[in-house]
Amino acid sequence: MKQTIFGVAVSASLVLAAMPSQAKELIYGSWMGANASTNAITLPLFFERVKAATGGEIEWTLVPGGQLATGAGTVDAVKGNLIDAGTTMAPYTPRELPATNAIFTRTVAGNDVVGTAGAMNELILLNCPECKAEYERNDAVAFAAYNTTPYLLMCKPDISTVADLRGTKVRASGGGVEIMKMAGATPVAMSPAEATSALERGVVDCVMGSLAWLRNYGYMDITESVVEFPLGMAGPPLLMYMNRDVWQDLTPEQRKAHIDNAAELVAVGTITAQIDIDAEVRAAALDEGVTFHEGGADFAEIMQRRVDEQEAAIIEMASSVGVDNVEALLAKYTELLEKWAAISDEVGTDVAKFTEALNREVFSKLDPEDL
């Protein structure tokens, strides 16, 4: 009898030992809506990867729609550990993240979405000690920045030329603020989510942003026209902006699981959730009767002025708020954009190839213990 009881006890202990310990639940507060492609596509896949890589020890719960923090409130919400992580846009909190905002404010012309995303990640994660320092000051760590497709103008009235823009109010951020000023419009600061009701009520006439926002933020039923001329890419939106104490409370293996899957997070967030969605949304918008205008030489002239004048303006702005070595930071960005343009030619829009390139050039060189 004693042997039987002992045998049962031993068997039970072995079963318990084989079972995973209770998962640590972490909360991701997103100011984007539940249907936004970042929340519907990008983050769920990453959270599944982390859960699998940690044997179920880490389980992320996504709370969308600004229920826990607004776009402008995410830095403070992470710092105060109201949420464990969130998506952070430096232009919403430029005082807290001035170096990241200097990068974000630089307009990247053209449409190399993949190459720009690669350059952004290599810059902020491996070549911007000022960025790391400001995350530390705000009790955070940050990794994995995606890139949006080139910003376009999505308008309630019919807008097709720069002359049509004069006197209008346009939701804009980052480098888009100066572009709209050059065009004679009044830039208005607000998150894409806040712009939905603003556009509907006439608080703004247009939104400067990615075409996917027509679906992500419900602009489709409000927008009458889109100017398809690319008005630059700006970033990086930081997908994993995470409370530092929470990060350090993870085991080394758990931290590594996050970094090991970060390259795919960026690739999916940039290609699947931005480039691919844009194509779908454009077709849907045409079906809904939205008018698309190409834009022309007048928009090209504005963009060239922005490219020619932006560096001096960014250096002055960032230096005035205490960012060191702004010139060197922007020079490195230029160097990395050239490097990643060549990589982008090889990657195309292949998620697996982009993931491999990001791992090779960035995330394999990132020490999870030194964020």
103: amino acid identity, one letter: I
- CATH 3.40.190.10 boundaries in the chain: 152-231+290-300
Nearest of 31, 48, 34, 35 to residue 241 by alpha carbon = 31
pLDDT value at position 21?
A: 56
What does the pLDDT read at residue 22? 82
- Compute the distance between CA of residue 248 and CA of residue 136 in angstroms, rounded to an integer: 12
User: How far is the CA of 112 from the CAs of 118, 233, 331, 350, in angstroms?
Assistant: 10, 9, 19, 14
Residues whose CB is less than 8 angstroms from the CB of residue 317 and which lie 6 or more positions away in sequence, other chains included: 102, 105
Tracing tokens 């708020």 back to the chain, one arrives at 321
Using one digit for the tens of pLDDT, what is the confidence trace for 95-125? Answer: 999 999 999 999 999 999 999 999 999 999 9
User: Which residue is it, tokens 């690319």?
Assistant: 230
CB 238 within 8 A of CB 100: yes
Contacts of residue 54, Cβ cutoff 8 Å, sequence gap at least 6: 253, 254, 257
Fold that domain 152-231+290-300 belongs to in CATH: D-Maltodextrin-Binding Protein; domain 2 (3.40.190)
Q: Does domain 24-147+235-287+311-370 have CATH number 3.40.190.170?
A: yes
Residue 20: cis peptide before it, omega within 30 degrees of 0: no
* pLDDT for res 288: 95
Q: What percent of the chain has pLDDT over 70?
A: 94
pLDDT digits (tens, 9 = 90+) for 5-28: 333 333 333 333 343 458 899 999
Q: Which residues of 224-261 are buried (b: 16+ CB within 10 A; e: fewer)?
A: ebbbebbbbbbbbbbbbbbbbebbeebeeebbbbbbbb
Determine what percent of the chain falls in helix, strand and coil, rounding each to the nearest 5. 55, 15, 30
Of the candidates 314, 309, 306, 308, the one whose C-alpha atom is nearest the C-alpha of residue 162 is 306
For residue 38, give the 3-state DSSP assignment: helix
DSSP 67: S
Q: 56-81: string of b/e by CB count within 10 Å (b at 16+)?
A: ebbebebbbebebbbbbbbbebbeee
Report d(CA 206, CA 214) in Å as an integer. Answer: 12
Distance CA 86, CA 90 (A): 12
Calculate the CA 227 to chain-centre distance. Answer: 23
pLDDT of residue 264: 98
Residue range(s) of every CATH 3.40.190.170 domain in the chain: 24-147+235-287+311-370
Low-confidence residues of the chain: pLDDT under 50: 1-20
- Determine the Cα–Cα distance for residues 189 and 76; give it in Å rounded to an integer: 19
Helix (H) or strand (E) segment spanning residue 269: none
DSSP strand pairing (186-188 vs 169-171)? parallel
- For the chain, where are the E strands, in sequence order? 24-29, 58-63, 85-88, 140-145, 152-155, 169-171, 186-188, 206-209, 225-227, 238-243, 291-293
